[in-house]
């Protein structure tokens, strides 16, 4: 008897589930807090709670995570240098201050339009190597000829030893700036993903588990771990993709909408006849448009750990994640007393980082470059939660909130504060942690809002539910102005929205929001068994899918019957005849798909490969096609539970 292990690492919890391969039955599951900066302890804790006899017989481990997504959403990614080769148009403000424009690039036929200025790239790499963790390289028309990106990457690796990501590796679509952003975000995520994957490998190796390791991608398909480490950008939405696939599996519904409430964000997506609804455009995350094929989703930075704060009797929800007061009181034994004795700040000083419920603790991340003010504050923040009055007393002067903000962005400090999770503790609808800490926090904030603690927590809960409904409707009513949906939802009308598909809720305390959600919208709303570990289930039940796009064009329209160019991932080939070009392109596509599936542990009759050919030719064209787009797709099934 063999088993499969699914693991999902979210911003707050790491979930795990064991599934029996023979019939797909869920035999065991567990939840543990995600640990920072090293997720290894959280992974160890969650696996420790599973049946040890089944663990010995695990042959497949598949994982998903929202850590990459959260890194981009919260703006806490690692510093990256961006090198743009050729005539790159800038779509908006550059994503990094470490950026270089270098001569080079190719045209639409993959022919060099300018020599690569390798000397300038070398000087830049040496200049910034101690200030960044990776490099991103994007060359103009690299999808038609990647040689300049490859040369730059090889030289950077020789000079710095740091990873360098090329745009052509991540997308074969045109769009130079979007490809550059995709490469930049990918490079930013490499350290985060590498640490996460190495933590899982380390833990399962220590347990003597001999299993193939896969990772869920943001389109709901799985990828071998080698590919995931090279292209972490493709896993940015693997957590939401896992929730979508997992919700369908747990509910038995082939078609449904899904609301997944996590610690940092709430994600809305849908699946139709067992196929995830994919975006026609590249995934957009943190305001950046990428060239990554992903599920179509609506994300709001509202989760169970979103920071609740108040200024001038106005309630704010997020967008930053904090450790809930209820959790902090369990993690740090002295915190409850500290919370009780911390004085209320003056109303005129209130801001996001100065609140009667806000505390700070060191994260454990290694220090980089710090300003004098940052170093001063960080020195007095230790391994126990520290309040703003304590910090000010220790540095012997007023504390600038911007300094704390900068330390949070640099991942050196983790904030503690009141959250929707605390509100549910006070209302008695969730009891996983310390209710007294939540109650004290609610009393303090309610006083500022001139409410009772019960009224305050009910307001917080309703705000969270309202956000869930608003973003669900915005997702379903694509194209309808957000403000119009908001006006109808919040208005006092004798009517409400009716949905034609069921809605599945996933996440720890989602049952607490079901009733209020039904009051806002008319829909069948389900909370399936194992909803709290739905993402870990989804990590296991994703299919192996690989798409390879190859373009064939005549080298010149003057003589379109001979001399053809083939643009494949990582290569540009030339053939005398169209038939040779088409035959080789097909072979390349099928081999790339087969190699990918093999890395996922799939081969033979487990894999179905399909070929789609689209040609473009003008009317009256009596030659081989002016353009041929060859799409090779492989779909792999791992077992009866998929």
Tens of pLDDT, residues 565-613:
998 887 889 999 999 999 999 999 999 888 877 776 666 777 788 898 9
Average pLDDT of 266-292? 69
For residues 384 and 361, is the Cβ–Cβ distance under 8 A?
A: yes
For residues 2 and 19, is the Cβ–Cβ distance under 8 A?
A: no
Neighbour tally for 86: CB within 10 Å: 22
Give the pair of three-digit tokens for residue 46: 């969650």
For residues 613 and 552, is the Cβ–Cβ distance under 8 A?
A: no
Compare 362 and 544 and report the one with higher pLDDT: 362
Which DSSP helix (H) or strand (E) runs through 189? helix 176-206
Compare 100 and 192 and report the one with higher pLDDT: 100
Could you tell me which residues come within 8 angstroms of residue 74 by beta carbon, excluding any fewer than 6 positions away?
264, 319, 320, 321, 409
For residues 11 and 34, is the Cβ–Cβ distance under 8 A?
A: yes
Could you tell me which residues come within 8 angstroms of residue 604 by beta carbon, excluding any fewer than 6 positions away?
none
Give the pair of three-digit tokens for residue 153: 């990457």
Which parts of 380-485 are beta strand (E)?
386-387, 413-417
For residue 211, the SS3 value is coil
CA–CA distances in Å: residue 452 to residues 341, 414, 426, 445, 613: 20, 29, 12, 9, 66
Distance CA 329, CA 371 (A): 31
pLDDT at 459: 96
For residue 402, the SS3 value is helix
pLDDT at 642: 41
Average pLDDT of 216-245? 70
Q: Which residues pair with 104 in a beta bridge?
A: none
Q: What are 525-558's pLDDT values in tens digits?
A: 999 999 888 888 888 776 666 778 899 989 888 8
Compare 642 and 571 and report the one with higher pLDDT: 571
Ranges 76-80, 146-150, 341-345: which has the least confidence:
76-80
Average pLDDT of 168-174? 64
CA–CA distances in Å: residue 389 to residues 354, 393, 507: 9, 6, 36
What percent of the chain shows pLDDT beyond 90?
36
pTM metric for this prediction: 0.72
Ranges 25-34, 205-214, 293-302, 492-501: which has the least confidence:
293-302
Q: Which residues pair with 310 in a beta bridge?
A: 315
- Pick from 538, 10, 513: nearest CA to 244: 538
pLDDT at 112: 84
Average pLDDT of 489-512? 89
- pLDDT band at residue 203 using 50, 70 and 90 as cut-offs: confident
For residues 225 and 199, is the Cβ–Cβ distance under 8 A?
A: no
pLDDT at 93: 63
Distance CA 163, CA 187 (A): 8
Q: Is it the case that residue 290 has pLDDT exceeding 70?
A: no
* pLDDT averaged over every residue in the chain: 85
- pLDDT band at residue 640 using 50, 70 and 90 as cut-offs: very low
Q: What are 44-82's pLDDT values in tens digits?
A: 999 999 998 888 888 888 888 776 666 655 555 577 888
Question: What ranges do the domains of the chain cover?
Answer: 80-192, 543-636
Q: Is it the case that residue 494 has pLDDT exceeding 80?
A: yes
Q: What is the dihedral of CA 390, 395, 400, 406, to 10 degrees?
A: -90
Number of helical (H) and strand (E) elements in the chain, helices listed first: 20, 31
For residues 484 and 505, is the Cβ–Cβ distance under 8 A?
A: no
Q: Is it the case that residue 355 has pLDDT exceeding 80?
A: yes
DSSP code per residue over 260-299: EE-SS-EEEEEEETTEE-B-SS--EETTEE-S---B--EE
Distance CA 19, CA 143 (A): 41
pLDDT at 641: 43
- For 97, list phi and psi in degrees, rounded to 5: -80, -15
Average pLDDT of 235-256? 81
Average pLDDT of 428-444? 95
Q: Is it the case that residue 200 has pLDDT exceeding 70?
A: yes
Compare 638 and 92 and report the one with higher pLDDT: 92
pLDDT at 73: 55
Average pLDDT of 244-268? 88
Distance CA 464, CA 302 (A): 7
Which DSSP helix (H) or strand (E) runs through 246? helix 238-251
* Cα 275 off chain centre by: 20
Q: Is it the case that residue 285 has pLDDT exceeding 60?
A: no
pLDDT at 482: 86
pLDDT at 12: 78
- Torsion sign across C-alpha atoms 73, 76, 78, 82: positive
């Amino acid at each position: 008897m063999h088993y499969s292990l699914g693991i999902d690492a979210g911003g707050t919890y790491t979930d795990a589930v064991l599934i029996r391969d023979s019939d797909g039955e869920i035999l065991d599951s567990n939840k543990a807090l995600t640990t920072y900066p090293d997720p290894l302890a959280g992974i160890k804790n969650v696996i420790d709670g599973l049946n040890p006899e089944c663990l010995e017989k695990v042959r497949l481990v598949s994982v998903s995570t929202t850590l990459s997504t959260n890194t981009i959403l919260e703006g806490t990614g690692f510093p990256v240098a961006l090198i743009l080769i050729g005539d790159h148009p800038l779509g908006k403000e550059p994503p990094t201050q470490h950026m270089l424009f270098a001569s080079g690039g190719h045209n639409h036929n993959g022919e060099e339009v300018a020599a690569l200025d390798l000397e300038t790239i070398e000087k830049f790499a040496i200049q910034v190597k101690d200030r960044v963790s990776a490099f991103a390289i994007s060359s103009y028309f690299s999808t038609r000829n990647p040689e300049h990106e490859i040369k730059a990457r090889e030289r950077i690796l020789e000079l710095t030893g740091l990873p360098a990501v090329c745009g052509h590796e991540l997308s074969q679509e045109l769009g130079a700036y979007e490809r550059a952003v995709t490469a930049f975000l990918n490079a930013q995520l490499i350290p985060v993903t590498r640490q996460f994957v190495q933590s899982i490998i380390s833990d399962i190796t220590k347990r003597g588990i001999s299993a193939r390791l896969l990772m869920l991608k943001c389109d709901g398909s799985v990828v071998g771990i080698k590919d995931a480490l090279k292209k972490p950008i493709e896993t940015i939405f693997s957590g939401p993709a896992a929730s979508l696939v997992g919700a369908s599996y747990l509910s038995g519904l082939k078609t449904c909408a899904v609301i997944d409430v996590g610690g940092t964000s709430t994600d809305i997506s849908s699946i139709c006849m067992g196929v995830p609804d994919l975006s026609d455009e590249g995934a957009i995350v943190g305001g950046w448009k990428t060239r990554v094929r992903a599920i179509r989703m609506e994300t709001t930075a509202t989760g169970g750990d979103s920071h609740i704060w108040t200024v001038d009797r106005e309630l704010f929800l997020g967008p930053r994640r904090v450790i809930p007061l209820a959790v902090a009181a369990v993690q740090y034994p002295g915190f409850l007393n500290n919370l009780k004795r911390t004085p209320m700040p003056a109303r005129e000083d209130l801001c996001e980082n100065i609140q009667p419920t806000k505390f700070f603790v060191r994260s454990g991340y290694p220090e980089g470059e710090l300003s004098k003010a940052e170093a001063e504050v960080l020195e007095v923040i230790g391994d126990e939660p520290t309040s703003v009055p304590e910090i000010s007393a220790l540095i012997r002067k007023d504390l600038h909130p911007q300094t704390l903000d900068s330390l949070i962005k640099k991942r050196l400090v983790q904030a503690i504060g009141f959250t929707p999770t605390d509100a549910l503790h006070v209302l008695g609808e969730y009891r996983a942690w310390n209710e007294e800490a939540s109650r004290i926090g609610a009393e303090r904030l309610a006083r500022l809002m001139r409410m009772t603690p019960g009224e305050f927590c009910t307001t917080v809960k309703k705000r969270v539910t309202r956000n869930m409904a608003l973003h669900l409707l915005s997702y379903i009513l694509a194209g309808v102005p957000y403000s119009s949906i908001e006006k109808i939802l919040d208005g006092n009308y004798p009517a409400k929205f009716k949905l034609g598909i069921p809605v599945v809720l996933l996440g720890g305390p989602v049952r607490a929001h079901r009733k209020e959600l039904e009051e806002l919208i008319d829909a069948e709303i389900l909370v399936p068994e194992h909803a709290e570990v739905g993402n870990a289930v989804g990590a296991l039940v994703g299919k192996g899918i690989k798409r390879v796009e190859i373009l064939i064009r005549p080298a010149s329209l003057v003589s379109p019957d001979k001399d053809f160019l083939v643009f494949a991932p990582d290569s540009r080939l030339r053939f005398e005849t169209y038939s040779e070009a088409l035959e080789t392109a097909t072979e390349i596509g099928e081999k790339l798909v087969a190699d990918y599936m093999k890395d996922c542990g799939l081969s033979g009759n487990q894999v179905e490969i399909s070929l789609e050919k689209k040609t473009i030719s003008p009317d009256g064209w009596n030659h081989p096609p002016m353009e041929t787009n060859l799409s090779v797709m492989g779909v792999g099934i791992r077992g009866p539970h998929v």
